[in-house]
């Protein structure tokens, strides 16, 4: 399959797409610009600045958004105003990166070393009552995170490991366990790094390959069975959305590229892969 370019290049570092089921719109971030982007029904893109970094976001059940900012979280009301800010850490060497919501409406987001070299990162959990918990430590580049339909398994990517790990997940406590006993995927090529991911309704795991110009689908046993090609190298994340979640939206980056390189980098792409997506849920806070 080959993805089609859906927008003009609109982000320096596009990341974290999510289908907002409450607003019926696709949202994503221009991460280091600190902006939330929204694709409207007319195909226009709106942009809202929320801070120095907008790392990841999810819709809130009552409307609005939860956004992971540089070192914490912000709640946006349905009008887009920041109503609450929740700090998570103070270390200036690190910032938030990718995140997601479990089936019970808890928002997880992981941090990373700005230099992407040391395991300074932590996977945090923001509960609906806005309490912040530490779930994993020793992370280098926290990236994709997703849960199976029943919530009993959690998929997670620390890009530095070049793996998609599978955890057992306790839906009552919100605690993952048994990591490394169930490695789903190992990405061997040194220039290809697993980044964001999405799950489909048939149990497939779609992984954006940063540096690899593609999104890969692995089945529930970790077998590669589909590839979506893109005309740019820095493919960052993917999410199902649109009618019946039939479209796969893909974000890209042009960060650190020469001005005349890869003219489509930073655009939003899409493909209709023939399977439906698994809903990602909303933050219950």
184-196, pLDDT tens digit by residue? 999 987 779 999 9
In this predicted model, what pLDDT tens digit does every residue of 118-167 receive, in sequence order? 899 999 999 999 999 999 999 999 999 999 999 999 999 999 999 999 99
pLDDT, residue 179, reads: 86
pLDDT, residue 180, reads: 67
CATH for 9-199 is 2.120.10.30
Residues in the chain with pLDDT < 70? 180-181
Domain boundaries defined on the chain = 9-199
Q: What is the pTM of this model?
A: 0.96
195 carries an active-site annotation: yes
The residue from 195, 200, 202, 247 that is catalytic is 195
Kindly tell me the burial class for residue 132, based on how many C-beta atoms sit within 10 Å of its own C-beta (0-12, 13-18, 19 or more).
middle
pLDDT, residue 115, reads: 85
HEC assignment per residue over the chain: CECEECCCCCCCEEEEEEEECCCCEEEEEEHHHCEEEEECCCCCEEEEECCCCCCEEEEECCCCEEEECCCEEEEECCCCCEEEEEECCCCCCEEEEEEEECCCCCEEEEEEECCCCCCCEEEEEECCCCCEEEEEEEECEEEEEEECCCCCEEEEEEHHHCEEEEEEEECCCCEEECCCCCEEEECCCCCCEEEEEEEECCCCEEEEEECCCEEEEECCCCCEEEEEECCCCEEEEEEEECHHHCEEEEEEECCCCCCCCCCCCCCEEEECCCCCECCCCCECC
**Structural contact between residues 160 and 195, judged by C-beta atoms closer than 8 angstroms:** no
């Amino acid at each position: 399959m080959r993805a089609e370019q859906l927008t003009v290049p609109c982000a320096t570092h596009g990341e974290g797409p999510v289908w907002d089921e409450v607003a019926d719109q696709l949202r994503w971030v221009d991460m280091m610009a600190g902006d939330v982007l929204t694709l409207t029904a007319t195909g226009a893109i709106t942009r809202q600045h929320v801070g120095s970094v907008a790392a990841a976001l999810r819709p809130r059940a009552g409307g609005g958004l939860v956004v992971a900012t540089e070192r914490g979280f912000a709640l946006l009301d349905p009008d887009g105003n920041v109503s609450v800010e929740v700090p998570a850490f103070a270390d200036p060497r690190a910032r938030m990166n990718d995140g997601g919501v479990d089936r019970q409406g808890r928002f997880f987001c992981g941090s990373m070393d700005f230099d992407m070299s040391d395991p300074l990162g932590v996977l945090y959990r923001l509960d609906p009552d806005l309490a912040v918990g530490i779930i994993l430590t020793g992370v280098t580049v926290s990236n994709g995170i997703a849960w199976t339909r029943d919530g009993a398994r959690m998929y997670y990517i620390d890009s530095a490991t070049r793996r998609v790990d599978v955890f057992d997940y306790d839906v009552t406590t919100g605690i993952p366990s048994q990591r490394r006993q169930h490695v789903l995927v190992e990405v061997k090529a040194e220039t290809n790094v697993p980044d964001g991911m999405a799950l489909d309704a048939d149990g497939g795991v779609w992984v954006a390959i940063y540096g690899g110009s593609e999104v890969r689908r692995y089945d529930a046993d970790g077998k590669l069975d589909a590839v979506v090609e893109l005309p740019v190298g820095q493919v960052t994340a993917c999410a199902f959305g649109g009618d019946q979640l039939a479209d796969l939206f893909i974000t890209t980056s042009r960060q650190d590229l020469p001005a005349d390189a890869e003219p489509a980098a930073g655009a939003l792409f899409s493909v209709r892969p023939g399977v439906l997506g698994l809903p990602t849920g909303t933050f219950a806070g």
